[in-house]
Structure 1
Amino acid sequence: MKLNRTLWIAPAITLASVFASYSVSAAFNPNPPSVGAYESGQYRNLAQEMNAHDAQAKLDAGFANMFGENTQQQLYYGYYEGGYYNGHYIKTTDTNDIRTEGQSWGMTIAVMMDKQQEFDNLWRFAKKYQKNSDQHSDPAKRGVYAWQLKFNSSGQVYKNDDGPAPDGEEYFAFALLNADARWGSHGSINYYQEALVMLQTIKTKLMKDGVIVFSPYVDNVTDPSYHIPAFYDYFADRVVNSADKQYWASVATRSRQFLQDHFAKVDGSPYWNLPTYLARPSGDPIPGNLFSGQANPGDWYELDAWRVAMNVAMDAHIMGAKAWHKNAINGILGALAYNKSANGAGCYKQKYWMGMEQSPYCAGEGQKAANAAALLASTNAEQANDFFYDFWHTPQPTGQYRYYHGCLYMLALLQVTGNFVFYN
């Protein structure tokens, strides 16, 4: 089971002078297309719409910083055991561990950047050290990937928790299917076959009545940030078996219904349009703490919940914008923009509950990144100017807490520059 993350402190950055130098770009499209990029082949480039001319350089530098050898922004590290090289991993720098979330995000970033060697290095490590045996003593854990590895005193990895965090498996499958589409599956790794195995694992171990679970060991609970309906439609399109096509298409439909139900439940008071960390499959937020080690109540808008806006906007952009996508994004960004203007701190905060701030800290790089990507479904040009440049002029994260921020930073950078493509 994946517990809540360690809190990091993000310094406040005043960008008023930066915003003042930019007028709202007339090129920003306040009417997200109803025909998605997967069908049209037209991927929006928000950076271009917002007259940000250094997009490719920023993207290249971001990848080089994350995957290069440096002490400030590096997340990609080689692993050696018994003197032999055994792939690379993405390090959770604040807690010094390795998670399926980060490993699968790293693979996704690598395939979008056309970096096959880095992709292969990450996948080989994941399959060797994170995958559970198909003969695991616990049937629920057979074939899933241990969400957290730790290092022993000799620097060797071990499974600290061999239960799954299903968003990792989802991104693994997505990344592998894109690798097959970009590079083919006739080399040393059969990406397509590996993706099919992963999809079967998700289907049989991590879904309940068509809904992605938070954990196989916590009944009737899902994590709204695990709902990525655009992925499910992509899975449906990429598989060949008709029953599997029908299954994943139905999962996409069910996931969109969950998200609509969830936003209906957090609409206005008391949650003020902000998605929550945990929810029932009905969409109802879950108050209180369900399990030992849970840092924040399930009905807080906090670290996992930041990603919901990015996932909703991705669905609108890739598969076609509907009214509910736009309403959800306008609600999230509107609530945060209002709090920023009203709280006297000049920023919106990292955590909220019942419309009230639960953290004294201003939004950090990852939260700003997710909200910039959310603009792909926004209809508010004034908000677009504010949220886009709040991200664009925030430097790539450094230091101890750069893992979560840095991964979201790169995922969002790909999305706002039109480089997060569903390859076919």
Structure 2
Amino acid sequence: MAAFETKTYRNVFKEIGKIDAEIEKRLKDVVDTFFWDEEERIYHDAGEDMGYLTDTGNNDARTEGMSYGMMMCVQLDMKEQFDRIWKWAKTYMFMTEGDNEGYFAWSCETTGKKNADGPAPDGEEFFAMALFFASHRWGDGEGIFEYSRQAREILEAMVHKGEDGRKGCPMFNRENGQILFVPGMDFTDPSYHLPHFYELFALWADEKDREFFKRAAKVSREYLAGCCHPKTGLNAEYANFDGTPMDKELPWGFFGNFFSDAYRTAANIGLDAEWFGEDKGQIGVPLKMMKFFGTNIEAVRCVYAIDGTPIDKTVLHPVGLMATMAQGALTVPYSEDPESDFAVAKRWVEWFWDQPLRKGVRRYYDNCLYLFAMLALSGNYRIW
């Protein structure tokens, strides 16, 4: 039975032989660096009651990082920082007019000035889920801190914009139930597919939308099983609705290979396995990936087509890839057999344990994925 029913979460670090004290210290050290270290922090206070996470490689604040930060804070019981991040997002990112009214601008300067007038749906997904968890863990407040109402309003816009004369486009394709890369596009991003979130949205969203989200959970699990290569387990950054990799170059580049966005898919499948355990063929994907990469840790420094063909391109986030692969260990049952599948997964968890947080200008994305993996593998990424 999965954690949704049992309320029990695996501590994979203990399964590989780490003790509680060292796990707790390691998580604390990572959190302290991520939020407070003057040289390496990602989070920053802003004024008396706001805060933001910065993409250190682009010197901006993104809905990806802001919503990630809120999810981290609710998992870590950091209500003050949660509220600071949420107020910054609502103050500077939230759009109140135009076709994207009700969504959040995906990028802002750290001063709050919008860099874009369009959204990125993964941000809205994480905003809504973090807000529901905050409501359940801390209780609803007033105004923008009435967390559950804010979450429902985000989801309502994601599903229903464009209906009955409303301006704009939804974030889901209402016919096939799939999340879109951006509203109005005819393709998706496999790493945006979060069936474990949709299962919970089906319980907590507006009643009229619950059936839609239940269907979306099923659709996404089936999609993840189909878009990941049957031998390597790799998936493309962007993909068509039938699961095939994006086969055309977009104005901002080619995204049909296994590259930065795509790394998150293994982590998402791992968390879904932990929370719900419903298998439509997707749960075996992370193990395929682990076996494809083999025993050479340097393999994470190469870019690949999804069939495993090496691509002559520079990897931007090898630490992030290692973290998501390790989180994928949640799909593999514990075993003491040295020849078991868990022995394969254990190797990745040990590599991750030995890997420090990334330093330098590109650390933002890697270290976000790193902290999520630390939470998940220590049994601290939970349903609230």
Note if 1:225 corresponds to 2:191: yes
1:277 aligns with 2:231: no
Query: How well do the aligned residues superpose, as a CA RMSD in angstroms?
Result: 1.9
| Counterpart selection for 1:399 from 354, 360, 372 | 360
Q: Aligned to 1:351, which of 303, 308, 326?
A: 303
Q: Which residue type is aligned with residue 215 of structure 2?
A: S
**Count of residue pairs the alignment pairs up:** 361
The residue type paired with residue 416 of structure 1 is L
Q: How does 1:266-415 map to 2 (within 5 A)?
A: 266-268=229-231, 272-290=232-250, 292-294=251-253, 297-322=254-279, 324-337=281-294, 340=296, 346-353=298-305, 354-358=307-311, 359=313, 364-378=318-332, 380-415=341-376
Unpaired segments ≥5 residues, structure 1: 1-34
Once residues 73 and 223 of structure 2 are traced to their aligned partners in structure 1, the CA distance between those partners, rounded to angstroms, is: 30
Residue equivalent to 1:183: 138
In structure 2, relative to structure 1, the CA distance for the partners of 1:326 and 1:405 (3 Å cut) is same
Match of 1:105 among 68, 71, 92: 68
Corresponding residue of 1:145? 104
Instruction: Call closer, same or farther: CA 1:245–1:50 in 2, change over 3 Å.
Output: same
Q: 1:323–1:227: structure 2 CA closer, same or farther, 3 Å change rule?
A: closer
Secondary structure of 1:77's partner?
strand
Q: CA deviation at 1:91?
A: 0.4
List per-residue Cα deviations over 1:370-412 (Å, max 9, x = no partner).
1110000025122122100111111122221110011001111
* 1:159 is aligned to 2:114: yes
CA distance in 1, matches of 2:132, 2:302: 33
SS at match of 2:46: strand
Q: Does the residue aligned with 1:89 lie in a helix, a strand or coil?
A: strand
Q: Residue 176 of structure 1 aligns to a residue in which SS? A: helix
Name 1:22's counterpart in structure 2. none
Deviation for aligned residue 1:273: 2.5
* Pairwise CA distance, 1:261: 2.1
Q: CA deviation at 1:103?
A: 0.2
Q: Could you tell me the TM-score, scaled by structure 1's length?
A: 0.81
Q: 1:256-305 deviations in whole A, cap 9, x for unaligned?
A: 12112213xx223xxx3211101111111112312x222xx222001000
- Counterpart CA distance in 2 for 1:149 and 1:350 is 31
* 8 Å CA contact retained: 2:56, 2:363: yes
Structure 1 residues 184 and 350: CA distance shift in structure 2, 3 A: farther
Shift of the alpha carbon at 1:187?
Answer: 5.5
Give the deviation of 1:61 after TM superposition.
1.4
Cα distance change, pair 368–123 in 1 and its aligned pair in 2 (3 A): same
Question: What one-letter code is carried by the residue in structure 2 that aligns with 1:157?
Answer: G
1:254 aligns to what? 219
> Alignment partner of 1:164: what SS?
coil
- Contact 2:155 2:205 (8 Å CA) reproduced: no
Displacement of 1:361: 5.2
Q: Deviations over 1:134-193 (max 9, x none)?
A: x32xx2x11111001125xxxx33111121110000000010000001000036611111
Q: Which has the higher contact order (CA 8 A, sep 6+)?
A: 1
Q: Give SS of 1:211's match.
A: coil
Within 1, Cα distance between the matches of 2:67 and 2:106?
A: 11
TM value normalised by structure 2: 0.89
Q: 1:362 and 1:98 mapped to 2: Cα distance?
A: 19
The whole-number CA distance in structure 1 between the counterparts of 2:56 and 2:142 is 32
Question: How far is the alpha carbon of 1:217 from its aligned partner?
Answer: 3.8
Please name the residue that 2:148 is paired with. 192
The CA distance in 2 between the partners of 1:213 and 1:346, in whole Å, is 33
Q: Which moved more, 1:188-197 or 1:100-109?
A: 188-197
